[in-house]
Amino acid sequence: ENPFFLLAPGWGQIPLVLLATLATVIASQAVISGAFSVTRQAVQLGFLPFLAIRQTSEKAIGQIYIPAVNWSIFVAIVALVVGFGSSSALASAYGIAVTGTLAIDTVLFFVVVRMLWHKPLWLVLAGAVGFLFVDLSFFAANITKIVSGGWFPLVIGFVLFVLLMTWRRGRDIVTRNRTEEEGSLQEFVSALDDSPDPPVRVPGSAVFLHAEGDTTPLALRYNVEHNRVLHEHVVIFSLETVGVPHVAEDERIEIDDLRIPNDGISLVTARFGFQDDPDVPGALRLARKRGLDIDVDHASYFLSRITINLTRARTMARWRKQLFKGISRNSADPVAYFRLPEDRVVSLGSSIDL
């Protein structure tokens, strides 16, 4: 009964249905793969917590699988099919989604043109006004369809926006409070060097993963304060995600002796693009080629585990704090995310106020 299929002769309708089905499968695969890539970029840029990401190819870095995203899409599609019942009933939702996406893409494109390509403001405004006039005209024509199903993509977009911004805001607050507790890395290392009762140095290599390069990892501070020991070779590993897809290996690693040479403590900063795989042992092997004294295959890795303590501070709404804490509890294990050897990882915990 569909006019599209009636365009074909009787003998060609079944092959056309099969062809349309295959085209649908291909299109859906593109959507799923795109969702995986965008999610990983959101994780790398700090808008989502760590997620379990599986590399499905040894040759192509972009071929990944994220179970949480895959199952979320599955549940959403099943609910969509059951709720709307037919493709014709989805027409309103589809129209709002497509025209809204076009308008958002136009805005983002001209932000890139202005901020990254540094084109003249008059040229950016002229182009943006022209394209947005067309895009917003189509979007305005679909506003009347919000009640009949167009609300669905708007709700999905709003929910995702709240999740992303809640995580980003909560992460910024936790990072600020944690930074105050960590203290200056340079002062900590200098205090160790000048201490009349320095900690006992034990053989081996220790790697302390840390988000910042200028503060002291809590795991390192607690290890020295409570255990009074320090490994012979200590590496503070700071991972930085930059605003490009990939970073070349010769530009990835930076090594700093923290102005106290020969004390066995080094700061390694590794830069990754938002599509790069954050392989910490692999980055340390690159650092070793550049002169870092470390036994990567036998090193111990120390992680600072953070427990979120909700307070009455008016930093965020109470429900957003609860949401952030819930997301934090369900984030993936950083051991797998950073490709750390499970049998050589030590976690030291601390409580941070939100």
Query: Is it the case that residue 144 has pLDDT exceeding 80?
Result: yes
Tell me how many domains the chain contains: 3
Domain boundary among 42, 70, 85: 85
Q: What is the dihedral of CA 20, 60, 38, 125, to 10 degrees?
A: -90
Please indicate, yes or no, if residue 230 is contained in any of the structural domains: yes
Kindly state whether residues 189 and 264 are assigned to the same domain. yes
Chain centroid to CA 70:
16
CB 309 within 8 A of CB 320: no
220-233 confidence digits (pLDDT tens): 888 888 888 888 88
Q: What is the pLDDT of residues 20-78, one digit of tens each?
A: 889 988 888 888 989 999 998 898 888 998 888 887 876 676 788 999 999 999 999 89
Whether 61 and 113 map to the same domain: the answer is no
Asked if 348 and 236 sit in the same domain, the reply is yes
Tell which of 141, 156, 182 closes a domain: 182
Q: Each residue of 302-350: pLDDT tens digit?
A: 988 888 888 888 888 899 999 999 988 888 888 888 888 888 888 877 7
Backbone φ, ψ for residue 158 (5° rounding) = -65, -45
Q: Can you tell me the distance from the alpha carbon of 297 to that of 111, in angstroms, rounded to the nearest whole number?
A: 45
Among the three residues 85, 117, 137, which one is the final residue of a domain in this structure? 85
Residue 319 within any structural domain of the chain = no
Q: Do 204 and 263 fall within a single domain?
A: yes
Domain membership of residue 304 as a residue range:
184-311+333-353
Quote the CA–CA distance of 342 and 35 in Å, as a whole number.
29
What phi and psi, each to the nearest 5 degrees, are found at residue 57? Answer: -140, 140
